[in-house]
Structure 1
Amino acid sequence: MPREASITQNDITRAAIRLLRKGQHPSAQKVRVELGNKGSLSTIHEGLKTWRESLNDSDLDVLPAEMPKELAAPIEDFFNACMAIAERQLAEHRQKANEEIEKAAAEARQAVSRMEDLQGYAKELETKLDGRIEQVDQLKAQNDEIRQQRLEVSNLAQQNADRIDFLMSARDNDRKLHEREVDELKRGFERDC
């Protein structure tokens, strides 16, 4: 024997509402008949219990089972009109929500693109900074070399100055010695003459 198709809570709720619209009390047996004799009575009974509890929890008022037939059509028309309005409003809200989602997604894409641009710019700046640091290091090395050369030049200049002083002093001494020798020769010559 093939297994019966399973029914859902939603199926039970819809069948119960259809029975109410017909002015009938939704019992488990009537709901089963409304569902085309699908589902077990115990499953339908539990589904009806859950549905009634949800009505109590939501403070919804359900029309009495013994509603006059003359009111059924106008109430159904009113219900259908309310549903159409609700569906239209839902569609408008859904469209507005979709537009806001698309706008937010576009803004997010722009933010990601801007972030990627900034990351590229930061990488470029980092590369330039590395180049500048290398230049600074080279300039420091050149400056140290120049400072060393200046020190060597200063030392050589001092050595040259000391040598010049020594040579000038030696020249002065030689001149004085030469002058004395000339004076002595003159005196010796004058004595001899």
Structure 2
Amino acid sequence: MARGGINKALVKQARQALLARGENPSLDALRIELGNTGSKTTIHRYLKELEAAEAGRLSTAMPLSDQLTSLVSQLAERLQDEANETVEQAHERWAQERTEHVERLRHAEARIQQLEQHAGTLEGQLKGERQAHQQAQQQLQQAQIENARLLQAKQDLDTRLADRDGQIRSLEEKHQHARDSLEHYRRTSKEQREQEQRRHEAQVQQLQMDTRQLQQTLIVKQDDITQLNRDNERLLTEARLLLKEQAAQQGRLERQTSELAVLKDQLAQSQTAKDTLQERLDALQAESAELQKTVSTQSQRAQGLQVSLAEATTALKLLRQATSPSGLEGTASDAAP
């Protein structure tokens, strides 16, 4: 497409100006004369139309040899212009593709660097998770040791409590035996008093003496019973304290068990997070490998484009040699006979 209002009249005017100055109205010269505006394709099309119109006007007046010379010159200029245009288009395509490849390569390198940084971050997170996992394992081991110690303490308390229970039962049995003995003694004393009352009054004094002895014995027995009651109360108080201590130990044991369960859950979560991070790291490494393959492929394509450019340059040189004045003279001499 034409740029900046380039049309056939402007191209014609520029061509006539170049001819008036004795210059060759080539495609590049016309574009420079037009102020470096307009596409070469449009200028070339208008130039061919002008040359065709001029050739039609001159064909009737010019000799055949002049017409052939003019035609060969026009053909040579057209070949040169078309070759220049083809090379320029190829160069523009190569430059555009090279720019695109360089841009893709830059994006790929930036992506690789970003992925490497992200992989480093993930490795740091994985290292932190591993350290947290080790700390959790250490805490779990400590909790297990503490749990074992508490279990052993509970077993010791259970043993001591069983011993206390045995002592309390023994004291209760002794107390009950003392009560039974006292009751039996009372019954026996009552029977003896009744028998003594029916006896001879002469035995009253003896009975009174026996009664005093029995009363003294009863006082001693009552003192023994009182002491046993006190011992029983003291043992009951100790048993209550042991029961409270056992309840406190049981509460601590339950709290340790709950903390152990929480630590196990944290350990499972850490293991899950570790597996997730490992999967993400593997995916990122695979993506990095794919990007490296893409970069290698694009480098190979760039090398292929460079080879194509070299071939086009070689073809252009050959074409220029073919369209040089010596080549044209050979062509004219071959066509004269």
Q: What is the match of residue 89 of structure 1? A: 93
1:99 aligns with 2:109: no
Distance across 2 between alignment mates of 1:177 and 1:81: 138
Distance across 2 between alignment mates of 1:173 and 1:114: 85
Distance across 1 between alignment mates of 2:187 and 2:78: 157
Compute the displacement of 1:189 (Å).
4.6
Runs (4+) off by over 6 Å: none
Q: What is the match of residue 220 of structure 2? A: none
Q: What is the match of residue 149 of structure 2? A: 145
1:172 aligns with 2:167: no
Deviations 1:80-133 (A, max 9, x none): 221122112111111110000001111111111111111111111111111111
1:118 aligns with 2:94: no
Compute the displacement of 1:177 (Å).
1.9
Structure with more relative contact order (C-alpha pairs < 8 Å, separation 6 or more): 2
Could you tell me which amino acid in structure 2 is paired with residue 115 of structure 1? A
Could you tell me which amino acid in structure 2 is paired with residue 128 of structure 1? A
The correspondence for 1:129, drawn from 115, 120, 133, is 133
Distance across 2 between alignment mates of 1:140 and 1:125: 22
Distance across 2 between alignment mates of 1:106 and 1:161: 80
Long gaps (5+) in structure 1: 1-67
The correspondence for 1:157, drawn from 157, 161, 167, is 161
TM-score normalized with structure 1 length:
0.58
Distance across 2 between alignment mates of 1:176 and 1:95: 116
* Aligned positions, number: 126
TM-score normalized with structure 2 length:
0.35
Identical residues among aligned pairs (%): 19
Could you tell me which amino acid in structure 1 is paired with residue 87 of structure 2? M
Structure with higher Rg: it is 2
Deviations 1:117-173 (A, max 9, x none): 111111111111111111111111111111111111112111111111111101111
Long gaps (5+) in structure 2: 1-70, 198-337
Compute the displacement of 1:185 (Å).
4.0
Deviations 1:41-63 (A, max 9, x none): xxxxxxxxxxxxxxxxxxxxxxx
Cα-Cα RMSD: 2.1
Could you tell me which amino acid in structure 2 is paired with residue 177 of structure 1? S
Q: How does 1:36-115 map to 2 (within 5 A)?
A: 70=73, 71-115=75-119
